[in-house]
A and B are shown apart, each in its own frame.
Chain A
């Protein structure tokens, strides 16, 4: 699509949407959000950019081939599930690291569910944008 207005706005939008997607991913453990929604928002941002600039630019924005992104995401999630096995717990058991925890404060919780969600995020981003790229390149 050759529209100066759309292409200018899309650059603004894609940044905002990617930022928002990371925010959604981050808050997902305790509040609505998570890897799947975050990934969809990110993919929507990338698609907006792709509609304005064409599928070639979309590939450039992603840097990695979408299929590879999906599989890297899958591996990330699998690894997050395997980590607890080192501790002799079951596959996918949540392991938590509380940064700056005191007697009263819980601190900042970092855990394997976040890594799992990052994996889901990558799968969704790669999957959805990969489908759209394939469709756009066909047309």
Chain B
């Protein structure tokens, strides 16, 4: 009996419900939500400790044994990602109390935020493909609600693109799951590991693998299916953007890693090469996209896409070394994206705009805050000894190990180019003197703290100039401290990611945890098959 796994799901779920039912006061809802995320963080650390000391932990819902019942399983990869998710959830919850307007909270902002976390944690924990789809849906429904909450026109425009492309991806995912079930008669991932190699028609298996690649690729914003991301992220309140940018695409990557190590491991070299190629293109494209934009949120959104490329490279190379690098990159990527978007929110609050041409003089006004931004930017670029350096170093090391010259070249180029857009933010928003007030034309103001301005023909939602309060500073400084610690002492996390990668490459521990009777009664399996 292990209630820990289900507790990781129930705590945010109860928080979602209780924060809405118990009180209609805006601040108390935030406080309940913050306490809920602290509880999740503690649970996630206990889970990580258990997995680190005793291997994968699994739990069958309702006592029905795998492969018939619903499996929850946490191996090292899941445990690490749940800890990171809990950290982001706590930071964003605190930040949101200071950032989100009263009417959004009255509309249930914290409920949807916590349900989003339920979906993310569920996707990390499930051991069953159909449930993976269900958790994706939980996540998507909550994200749709967060997208339209507050409901100004710019937001709806972004939301429609987001919803449309995600529905396509969902249909593809369901089709792929249906085909796979038709081929193997099971959807339990551990069971699939055994059954898929037994399928006679291996060509069809490759087709299904490609369907999964496309479906999860859309969710992870992989080239060429990334366009929904920069189209929707800049329309949202910054707390929502932070949690989307940090977590949503990474769940797609997680699903890709899980699918291509457990269900379609090794032999499908076509898919591996495709993954590698897509990773390279996505990486370069993200960097170039970031260079062409002048809205801080769009620049960062393209960085999200770029970092997805790095993670795909790790998966595409496929060795334990590369996989470990990808996992470390995920930890670094999730935390640094949340931090940078929260910092961008402060820039918006101090300068009243996200447009680089309208910003300026922040270094003179707020030298301390400027240092926090510089730190986060350098950590993203990968200046030693900050966390991005280790992440990229590990990827390079894996590339060297595979003699993949093209991978090494591209990683170095992309890393160097990442410097340009971030330094542009630094030069324009922080160093350049404050531009003369040109006075944005306010066209509508539906919300209490977001206004819509018209600049030529482009409409964009920007915040009013308000000084950031303690709720906003605390998570930014806290997360910066975490990033600094990761940068200075990466050893423990690298060690954990390597363990996670080893479990992925050789999933026998995972399989034995889900199907404990597999080796004891091999005849049983055949019986089920008939």
Write the A71-92 contact mask toward B (1 if CB under 8 angstroms, else 0): 1101100100110010011111
Q: Does B241 contact A (CB under 8 A)?
A: no
With A68-B20, A71-B17, A74-B17 already in contact, the answer to whether A92 and B61 are too (CB < 8 A) is yes
**Are A71's CB and B62's CB within 8 A?**
no
Q: Does B305 contact A (CB under 8 A)?
A: no
Partner among B13, B17, B59 whose Cβ is within 8 Å of the Cβ of A90: B59
**Are A74's CB and B13's CB within 8 A?**
yes
**Are A67's CB and B108's CB within 8 A?**
yes
Report the Cα distance A89→B13, complex, angstroms.
21
Within 8 A of B (CB), among A47-100: 67-68, 71-72, 74-75, 78, 81-82, 85, 88-94
Q: Does B63 contact A (CB under 8 A)?
A: yes
Interface residues on A, range: 10 to 19
Q: Does B10 contact A (CB under 8 A)?
A: yes
**Are A67's CB and B20's CB within 8 A?**
yes
Q: Which residues of B lie under 8 Å from residue A91 when comparing CB positions?
A: 3, 6, 59, 61-62
Interface centre among B10, B18, B59, B63 (most CB of A within 10 A): B63
Q: Which residues of A lie under 8 Å from residue B513 when comparing CB positions?
A: none
Q: Which residues of B lie under 8 Å from residue A81 when comparing CB positions?
A: 6
Report the Cα distance A81→B16, complex, angstroms.
17
**Are A75's CB and B17's CB within 8 A?**
yes
Chain A residue with the shortest CB-CB distance to B59: A90
Q: Which residues of B lie under 8 Å from residue A85 when comparing CB positions?
A: 3
Q: Does B259 contact A (CB under 8 A)?
A: no
Within 8 A of A (CB), among B1-57: 1, 3, 6, 10, 13-14, 16-18, 20-21
The interface residues of chain A, by DSSP majority, are classed as: helix
Shortest distance in angstroms between A94's beta carbon and chain B's nearest beta carbon? Answer: 7
Shortest distance in angstroms between B21's beta carbon and chain A's nearest beta carbon? Answer: 5
With A67-B108, A89-B1 already in contact, the answer to whether A94 and B62 are too (CB < 8 A) is yes
**Are B63's CB and A71's CB within 8 A?**
no
Report the Cα distance A71→B13, complex, angstroms.
10
Partner among B13, B17, B20, B63 whose Cβ is within 8 Å of the Cβ of A93: B63
Write the B109-133 contact mask toward A (1 if CB under 8 angstroms, else 0): 0010000000000000000000000
Q: Which residues of A lie under 8 Å from residue B111 when comparing CB positions?
A: 67, 71
Shortest distance in angstroms between A60's beta carbon and chain B's nearest beta carbon? Answer: 19
Q: Which residues of A lie under 8 Å from residue B418 when comparing CB positions?
A: none
**Are B20's CB and A90's CB within 8 A?**
no
Chain B residue with the shortest CB-CB distance to A76: B17
Shortest distance in angstroms between A119's beta carbon and chain B's nearest beta carbon? Answer: 11
Q: Which residues of A lie under 8 Å from residue B188 when comparing CB positions?
A: none
Partner among A68, A72, A78, A89 whose Cβ is within 8 Å of the Cβ of B10: A78
With A90-B61, A91-B61, A94-B62 already in contact, the answer to whether A68 and B21 are too (CB < 8 A) is yes
Chain A residue with the shortest CB-CB distance to B3: A85
Q: Which residues of A lie under 8 Å from residue B13 when comparing CB positions?
A: 74, 78
With A78-B10, A78-B14 already in contact, the answer to whether A89 and B63 are too (CB < 8 A) is yes
Seen from chain A, the residues whose Cβ lies within 8 Å of a Cβ on chain B are 67-68, 71-72, 74-75, 78, 81-82, 85, 88-94
Please provide the 10 A-B residue pairs with the shortest distance between their CB atoms, ordered closest to farther: A71-B17, A92-B62, A91-B6, A90-B63, A93-B63, A93-B62, A92-B61, A75-B17, A74-B17, A71-B21
A-B contacts, 17 listed (Cβ < 8 Å): A67-B20, A67-B108, A71-B16, A71-B21, A71-B111, A72-B17, A78-B14, A89-B63, A90-B62, A90-B63, A91-B59, A91-B61, A91-B62, A92-B61, A92-B62, A93-B62, A93-B63
